[in-house]
Amino acid sequence: MPVKFDYLVRETTSNLGRNVTITLASIMTVAVSLALVGASLMLRSGVENATKRWQGGIEFVVFLRIDATQQQIDSLGNDLEESPEVSKVVFVDQQQAYSEFKSLFADSPELIDSVTAEDLPPSFRIEPVNKDVDAVEALGLTYEGRSGVDQVVFASKTIRLIQQLSSRLTVGIFVIAAFLLGAAGLLILNTIRMAMFARRREIEVMKLVGATNWFIRVPFMLEGLVQGLIGAFLAIGALAAFKPFFQKWLPSAQDIPLVGGFQVSGGEMTVIFITLGIVGIAIGAIGAGIAVSRFLDV
């Protein structure tokens, strides 16, 4: 017996409306749990972007004045290259700094339009031989008073603390989200079980007139998928609305230079949204699949 589209729509809608309270509870639980998952993914992406300049062993950055002369830049660069205490030095000119700025703030075109490459300072990113915190700070401070230097920013304890805190928060949020996703799956399972119980007589008649197992099961499984998908859409909407407020609450780059690039790009948000949609569908499918295989005796 083939399954027709209008039959699926009619039966799925009927099932969703039959137990409205439990259906809403399932959808909201899915939405809250997926919103937590999305928030943890946003946090991880933001921290990775904020600490991008510190990857590859970079321990401190020497920011030059915007009006630093080429002679001052060359002099400092030669000293860094020749220093036995420096393992690696990378010079980032204004154009490279602007390219990095545009990448980090790709979702804020008005901010990009208000800044030019000439507004951003060039810098030297330094990896010292000795990674001890005190040794790194002592080395960095020797360049702080040099002509043409604006400020020296250290990764040291601060950046490691940020990464550790982010990692712990991400794990904690994922654990809570996992419990909530489990609860959502059980709610979806229970919703479908009640729908099957309410239609047990109709199911018996359908079986007697030749309906196949899948003909009976598909609308119930689709019900679970719809609940998971609606929950995912609600979570995506909540995160999309929350993102601009979250970024406004962040400290400015002047207050905390280390995390001045804490941004989540549009491409990263798209990946997060797709992930939430897939997880929402999976939770609905799992809950529905268990329900129809365990409680629907056809």
The fraction of the chain above a pLDDT of 90, given in percent, is: 3
Question: Does residue 252 have a pLDDT over 60?
Answer: no
Name the pLDDT band for 36 (thresholds 50, 70, 90).
confident
Query: Is 97 in contact with 117 (CB distance < 8 Å)?
Result: yes
Domain, as residue range, for 214: 5-51+159-294
Q: Where does a domain end: 154, 188, 212?
A: 154
Name the pLDDT band for 256 (thresholds 50, 70, 90).
very low
Q: Half-sphere exposure of 179 toward its Cβ, with a 13 Å CA cutoff? A: 5
Query: Is 63 in contact with 270 (CB distance < 8 Å)?
Result: no
Name the pLDDT band for 233 (thresholds 50, 70, 90).
very high
- Predicted confidence at residue 16, as pLDDT, reads 62
pLDDT, tens only, 102-128: 877 776 677 778 888 888 889 998 888
Question: Does residue 1 have a pLDDT over 50?
Answer: no
- Predicted confidence at residue 264, as pLDDT, reads 73
Query: Is 15 in contact with 219 (CB distance < 8 Å)?
Result: yes
Query: Is 238 in contact with 202 (CB distance < 8 Å)?
Result: no
- Higher local confidence (pLDDT), 160 or 236: 236
Give yes or no: residues 99 and 184 share one domain. Answer: no
d(CA 204, CA 199): 9
Give yes or no: residues 45 and 166 share one domain. Answer: yes
Give yes or no: residues 186 and 227 share one domain. Answer: yes
Query: Is 167 in contact with 265 (CB distance < 8 Å)?
Result: no
Give yes or no: residues 150 and 84 share one domain. Answer: yes
Across the range 220-232, mean pLDDT stands at 83
Give yes or no: residues 46 and 83 share one domain. Answer: no
Query: Is 295 in contact with 213 (CB distance < 8 Å)?
Result: no
pLDDT, tens only, 42-88: 877 777 776 665 555 567 888 998 888 899 889 898 988 988 988 88
- Among 113, 18, 122, 117, smallest CA distance to 70 is for 122
**Number of domains into which the chain is organized:** 2
Across the range 27-33, mean pLDDT stands at 86
The 8-class DSSP code of residue 146 comes to S
- Predicted confidence at residue 234, as pLDDT, reads 92
